[in-house]
Structure 1
Amino acid sequence: MDGAVLRLKGENFWDPECFLPSDLVKELLAASAGLSVYLFDDDLLYVRGNVGSGVYREWALRCGGEPEAAPLTAVTHLIITHESWAALSELAGRIAPLLGRQVHSLLAKERFYGSYNLVVCKKVLSKCRGAKRLLKHYGFALQDLLFFGDWRNDIPLLKKAAFPVAMRNAGEAVAMHARAVTLFSNEEAGVERFLTRFFDL
């Protein structure tokens, strides 16, 4: 969830500052009518349209139905997908006036499972913020952290971790912030294989 929730001993600890306002989510669902959308609300997935399970399988396993059925009390991400980057770019321009100062939209230039994604989330939402919360809980700091990243949302933490590592499948814009790059991708157990050699296990 990009740092919005910590899971400690089977219990979720949410960061309410990362929740999108429910009224805004309703406006975004209306503005994206007819398009495929998925969102996460209190660790449940809600899907509208043609969104394959491969897109969200690492984020959530439990589905709560369509977005219009969600309570919208703890929405961290709203993602609109389309095969046309231009169509999402046009939509991003239309919804921009709705977002205000605390929310932004991110439109990736790379396809993800065959589609482009327009992600709407709070600006404070980041893995870096979540990592600080987790490390503080255990009495550590970012200067103690070995971190793996493969996507643009990993860049802030790659910049601040003591030992940043990019995955083999990371793009150049991500890898440039790492001290090392794994020999294998996420799909090839790259983290496990890197750590095995790094610690000589």
Structure 2
Amino acid sequence: MKKIYITDLDHTFLRTDLSVSDYTKKIWNSYEKDSVISIATARTYKKTMQFLKGVSINAPMILLDGALIATTDKKIVDTKFVSKEMADEIIEEGGKLGIYPFVLSLVDQELNEAFTYSTTLNNYQTEILKRYANDDHTQGFKNLRAMDDNFKIVYMADEAILIELEERIKKIFGDELKYILAPEAYMGCYFLTILHKDADKAHGITSVSESAGFDLNNLSVFGDNLNDIGMFNLANTSVAVANAHDDVKKMADIVLQHSNDEDGVAKYLEGLRDG
């Protein structure tokens, strides 16, 4: 039975500059023939494919925190959407606190995506948008409204205001939605990500296992942040990189000596092969 390896991207598989080293590509790709290898990320399909040029993936990818499961050739395996009505109410609640989200939505079945935002931005959002300056799927609106099929709503702000916003939204929707409050490791702020209640990496792995026909007892996962804990609980072997959040390290079966910038995932995989 093949082994399965699924890795998070940001701060785990990708370096801080969002690159993948030639060494990591070589080691990771060497597992393609005899293993199932894929990724689980908060990133969109488009961004993921940009980052993974030259990286082998032979199973459906878990994208947008599990809201989208899709193959590299754009076959949609599963989707979990937040409705327009719910998303618009979430936007209104944030507006009462003076903050507005990024909204990531599906435009069509060809996996064209929309990344929409309010023209009222805080400093964290302004900084993030610089990374998307050349992308054609981003658009700002004075009066932000959601689309029909929304993968996730993402707020960036200081922790205290996001805790208050989460409490407000939970009073309205309760467990109809999933809420992920987590630190952004390099910007000094927090993210509040709001998704369909079944949109997470653990549900995503279950969908991929059913689609690809693999045994979860053979699954190893790699991660660094709080949105990885669900798949840590599901996997037979959970591996945290050296730069992982402390709570993630506590949940991991293995904590690596090397960080994402030190090719931690690849060095672990190379050690398995050599051992």
TM-score range for the pair, normalised by the shorter chain length: 0.7 to 0.9
Q: Deviations over 1:91-133 (max 9, x none)?
A: 222222322431143333x354221222211221111111122
Worse overlay, 164-173 or 37-46? 37-46
- Is 2:223 the counterpart of 1:149? yes
- Looking at structure 2, the residues matched to 66 and 121 of structure 1 have their Cα atoms a distance apart, in angstroms, of 21
Deviation at 1:192, TM superposition (A): 2.0
Name the aligned partner's letter for residue 20 of structure 1. Answer: V
For the Cα contact (< 8 Å) 2:71–2:77, is it kept in 1?
A: no
For the Cα contact (< 8 Å) 1:143–1:160, is it kept in 2?
A: no
- Looking at structure 2, the residues matched to 144 and 54 of structure 1 have their Cα atoms a distance apart, in angstroms, of 39
Name the aligned partner's letter for residue 81 of structure 2. Answer: F
Q: Give SS of 1:133's match.
A: helix
Q: Give the one of 69, 87, 97 matched to 1:6.
A: 69
- Is 2:96 the counterpart of 1:22? no
- Is 2:93 the counterpart of 1:31? yes
- Give the match for residue 65 of structure 1: 139
Mapping for residues 29-108 of structure 1, pairs under 5 Å: 29-33=91-95, 34-42=98-106, 43-48=113-118, 49-50=121-122, 51=125, 52-53=127-128, 63-66=137-140, 72-83=147-158, 85-108=159-182
For the Cα contact (< 8 Å) 1:64–1:70, is it kept in 2?
A: no
Deviation at 1:177, TM superposition (A): 2.2
| Cα distance change of structure 1 residues 55 and 92 upon mapping to structure 2, 3 Å threshold | farther
Q: Give SS of 1:125's match.
A: coil
Q: Give SS of 1:15's match.
A: strand
In the alignment, structure 1 segments of 5+ residues that lack a partner are: none
Deviation at 1:80, TM superposition (A): 1.3
Name the aligned partner's letter for residue 161 of structure 2. Answer: A
In the alignment, structure 2 segments of 5+ residues that lack a partner are: 1-63, 107-112
Q: Give the one of 173, 185, 194 matched to 2:268.
A: 194
| Cα distance change of structure 1 residues 14 and 7 upon mapping to structure 2, 3 Å threshold | closer
Q: Normalising by the residue count of structure 2, what TM-score does the alignment of the two structures yield?
A: 0.62
- Give the match for residue 166 of structure 1: 240
For the Cα contact (< 8 Å) 1:147–1:161, is it kept in 2?
A: yes
Deviation at 1:20, TM superposition (A): 0.7
Greater relative contact order: 1 or 2 (C-alpha under 8 angstroms, separation 6 or more)? 2
Name the aligned partner's letter for residue 129 of structure 1. Answer: H
For the Cα contact (< 8 Å) 2:180–2:193, is it kept in 1?
A: yes
- Looking at structure 1, the residues matched to 263 and 70 of structure 2 have their Cα atoms a distance apart, in angstroms, of 22
Deviation at 1:26, TM superposition (A): 0.8
Q: Deviations over 1:139-197 (max 9, x none)?
A: 20211211102111211211221221112121222112222122222243322222122
